[in-house]
């Protein structure tokens, strides 16, 4: 039987409405009896859908899971702005959206596609001067977040049932859908804010395959649904190691490669057992071990 200390991998959780990402992590931590648990990509309490929870040594790879493309279905209420850019905040603007139709909303969307500059919400965890913006905003302090460049790969209007525009958005990491709702509303005239949000995909993970709330309290289900790090990063290149190479990377020694890998390439080092032994980064003459996992071979 696998001990709690040796558990490692990734859980695809369909986060329920009302729970914070930290709540989900805390539930998994209690259920499995393991402290080393984290998540890859925060979801607000009012959002549902794919939340990747990393267990054990997989927590060391959470930044790479967070870097994957995300797909969302967002309900944007046009004609209403709030302090938080979503339904949790106080209403600051109310206006009629009766002049809008499916065609006019669709016509505004291409301006939000590609690499764009986006101002994060005032109520967000981004730090400014060492302090989180939401902490400053809650104290009534003026918050002026600096614009950030984000990537939106695709955006389309799924439905228009006034005053709610339902959008599907495929985007890169760091994109705030709340900001997108606000900015789209302003571009259309009456303002806007996020009414509901569901993350339907994160990388290769889909919401329909995610663990539900009930499964989070069942240790047998969590163990059964734990996805190995190798499976979670299945689209990464792999370098197969022999016993000597495995010993070398655990000593921090570089692996020669002919031809050398392309600059900035990342790869998984696979031990003879089939488990992930390390993250490798391209070097001028081969591979440099970066994140080396422990000798147990747990992934």
Tokens 């914070």 locate to 20
Nearest alpha-carbon partner for 15 in 54, 46, 38: 46
C-alpha separations of 39 from 66, 77, 112, 120, 283 in Å = 9, 29, 28, 21, 29
Tokens, residue 147:
């614009």
115's CB contacts (< 8 A; 6+ apart) are 149, 150, 151
Kindly list the strands in the beta sheet with 238-240, ordered across the sheet, starting from the edge strand earlier in the chain: 238-240, 266-270, 276-283, 286-292, 255-256
Dihedral (C-alpha) 236, 281, 41, 170: value to the nearest 10 degrees? Answer: -50
Of residues 15, 56, 62, the one with CA closest to residue 35: 56
- Exposure string over 133-156, b if 16+ CB within 10 A, otherwise e: bbebbeeeeebebeeeebbbeebe
Give the integer Cα–Cα distance in Å for 179 and 287: 40
The dihedrals phi and psi of 162, each to the nearest 5 degrees, come to -45, 135
Contact 54, 61 (CB under 8 A): yes
Torsion of CA 181, 183, 185, 189, to 10 degrees: 180
Q: Which of 5, 14, 23, 44 is catalytic?
A: 44
Instruction: Decide if 5 is catalytic.
Output: no
Active site residues: 44
């Amino acid at each position: 039987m696998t001990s709690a200390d040796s558990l490692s991998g990734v859980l695809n959780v369909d986060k329920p409405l009302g729970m914070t990402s930290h709540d989900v992590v805390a539930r998994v931590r209690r259920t499995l009896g393991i402290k080393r648990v984290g998540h890859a990509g925060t979801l607000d309490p009012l959002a549902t859908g794919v939340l990747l929870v990393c267990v054990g040594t997989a927590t060391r790879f959470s930044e790479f899971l967070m870097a994957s493309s995300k797909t969302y279905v967002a309900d944007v209420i046009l004609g209403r702005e709030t302090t938080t850019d979503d339904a949790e905040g106080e209403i600051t603007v109310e206006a009629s959206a009766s002049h809008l139709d499916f065609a006019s909303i669709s016509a505004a969307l291409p301006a939000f596609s590609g690499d764009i500059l986006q101002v994060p919400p005032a109520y967000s965890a981004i730090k400014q001067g060492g302090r989180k913006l939401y902490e400053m905003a809650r104290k009534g302090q003026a918050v002026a977040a600096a614009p950030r460049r984000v990537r939106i790969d695709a955006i389309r209007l799924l439905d228009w049932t006034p005053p709610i525009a339902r959008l599907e958005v495929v985007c890169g990491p760091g994109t705030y859908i709340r900001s997108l709702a606000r900015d789209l509303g302003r571009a259309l005239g009456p303002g806007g804010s996020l009414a509901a949000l569901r993350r339907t995909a994160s990388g290769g993970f889909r919401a329909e395959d995610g663990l539900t709330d009930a499964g989070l309290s069942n240790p047998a289900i969590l163990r059964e649904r734990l996805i190995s790090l190798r499976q979670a990063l299945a689209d990464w290149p792999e370098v197969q190691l022999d016993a000597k190479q495995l010993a070398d990377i655990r000593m921090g020694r570089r692996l020669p490669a002919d031809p050398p890998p392309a600059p900035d390439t990342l790869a998984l080092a696979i031990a003879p057992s089939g488990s992930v032994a390390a993250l490798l980064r391209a070097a001028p003459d081969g591979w440099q071990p970066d994140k080396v996992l422990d000798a147990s071979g747990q992934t």
